[in-house]
Amino acid sequence: MDTILKKPVTDTDRKLVTSGIFWNFIQLLINQSFAFILKLVLAKLLFPSQFGIVGMAAVFTGFVQVLNDLGVGAALVQRKAEDLRKEHYHTAFWTGVVWSVLLYIIMSIVVAPVAASFYNEDLLKTIIPVLSIGILVSPINLVHKAQLTKQMNFKKLAFIDNTSNVLAGTIALIMAFKGAGVWALVFNAVATVFFAMPMFFKATGWKPAFIVEKQAFKDVFGFGVYTTGSNIMNYLYNNIDYLLIGKLLGATSLGIYTLAFVLTDTFRSRLMAVINNVMYPIYGKKQSDFVSLKKYYLKVVEFNCLFIFPVMVFFIMEGNFFVVHVFGNKWHETVAPLQILSFSVMLHILVSGNTALLRGLGRPGLEMKQQVLKAVIFLPSLAIGIYYGGIIGAAWAILLNKLIGVLIAQYTFKYLIPIKISAKELVIAIKAPLLAAAAAFLTAYLLTFISIHYLITGVLICACYFGVVWLFMQNELKLLIKGITRK
């Protein structure tokens, strides 16, 4: 064991990680830039109530999408290459197809009428079946995506994701300009999966054969059942606010809240995915090398903080000017929840790698227990927050629960897994982005005494932030840049 723990990180692993992070970052940059422009235009063309109606439908379709996955992708990626046979892929594919057809029937016949009655919005009877079409197609893409992820071929994954999102978004914009209204949002949510399908087939060259093996089913779904349980709890934990706000406060309030959430927590989750998607197969590969896993984990948190903190500082300090000038005065109620959620994202990013680490260690059961515990705490606090404070109360409840999530993570490191990371070690690991964020806050505060444009303030905040980061991390960043430019 001592020999294993002392084994250094290889150059091959470094190249895989560097390349993976680079291509995932390119994917994020293109997707987020395009998604931001798309949201900007749609927000100007549509109204908060229209965003809210799609948000209502997405609560139900998103939950079923989690069920649709069945943990297949995670199971195929986590399983060691020498233990993975062609029967695993074919069995996973056909099980997913049968399961998705069953779920689509349930969504169309049962869930759509129930959701329409729950929210008192008849339009949901039509929107939900259309949004659910993506459920039918997603299992076809799932096995291909798992294969590319296991190969760490993030360049192809980035190309497929970017191309499909840009195509779907462009058509959605044309539809919005033509007066399609809420259906432009619906199309954008569904079409991406269809555009990606032929590209996945071409990228992998893999074609399903009609093979279903009992042992392969047990191997894949034995792991996947815990992952699915964790995904379900995680989804409920992250979306119950949409459900309650839509029910108690209506479509307009949900639309306002949705925009705040998209700009903060959705951006956070996409950035986390950049590094976590790369690290998950590495964690699985090195699940017995605890020293390397600890170094990797702390580096993941550091780089996630590095890119998240300046954006959240800008929203906290300049959110009012940003929202009103960019999206229009009809969205002014988004400002307060936007600022509170920005603080919550800065807390959440401190536990940004936990899911990938626990799954890579083969501990999906522990991950599911964590999600259950957080949900038990979150649900009553969220209900109280919404009842007394509306969407602002919901944002405060989320902030409180992100703090609780950090405490649970620290307990896990201390008592439940072999990788030990103290609060002191975590703070030291993110010293550079923490100090840079403090400097950026101070800069933004001092600029409030001077009347300048909010975009100039944003540029100065970023300049101050990355200037401080460079002081502490210049050698490491130079090595990272050199590794990327050599590709």
Residues 336 and 445 in one domain: no
Q: In the listed set 429, 448, 468, which residue is the last one of a domain according to the structure?
A: 429
Residues 274 and 303 in one domain: yes
Residues 6 and 17 in one domain: yes
Question: For residues 31 and 161, is the Cβ–Cβ distance under 8 A?
Answer: yes
d(CA 296, CA 301) in angstroms, rounded, equals 9
Residues 41 and 166 in one domain: yes
Quick count: other Cβ atoms within 10 Å of Cβ 306? 21
pTM value?
0.68
Q: In the listed set 429, 450, 474, which residue is the last one of a domain according to the structure?
A: 429
Residues 339 and 460 in one domain: no
Residues 69 and 102 in one domain: yes
Residues 407 and 458 in one domain: no
Number of folded domains in the chain?
Answer: 2
- Reference 59, options 216, 207, 245; nearest CA is 245
DSSP conformational letter for 7: P
Residues 395 and 450 in one domain: no
End-to-end CA, the chain: 34
9 φ/ψ sector (left φ>0, alpha ψ -120 to 50, else beta): beta
Full DSSP string of 254-273 = HHHHHHHHIIIIIHHHHHHH
Residue 24, classed as helix, strand or coil, is helix
- State which residues form the domain around 453: 430-487
Residues 391 and 434 in one domain: no
84 φ/ψ sector (left φ>0, alpha ψ -120 to 50, else beta): beta
Handedness of CA 30, 479, 21, 412 (dihedral sign): negative
Residues 410 and 482 in one domain: no
Which pLDDT score is estimated for 127? 86
Which pLDDT score is estimated for 8? 44
Residues 330 and 439 in one domain: no
Question: For residues 331 and 324, is the Cβ–Cβ distance under 8 A?
Answer: yes
Cite the DSSP H helix spans in 151-261: 154-177, 182-204, 214-249, 251-261
Which pLDDT score is estimated for 413? 86
Per-10-residue mean pLDDT of the chain, 487 residues long, equals 40 55 60 65 71 77 68 65 74 81 86 87 86 78 78 76 84 82 79 86 83 75 63 72 84 85 75 62 62 81 87 92 84 91 91 74 75 83 90 92 90 86 90 94 90 88 93 81 57
Helix (H) or strand (E) holding 144: helix 133-150
Residues 406 and 446 in one domain: no
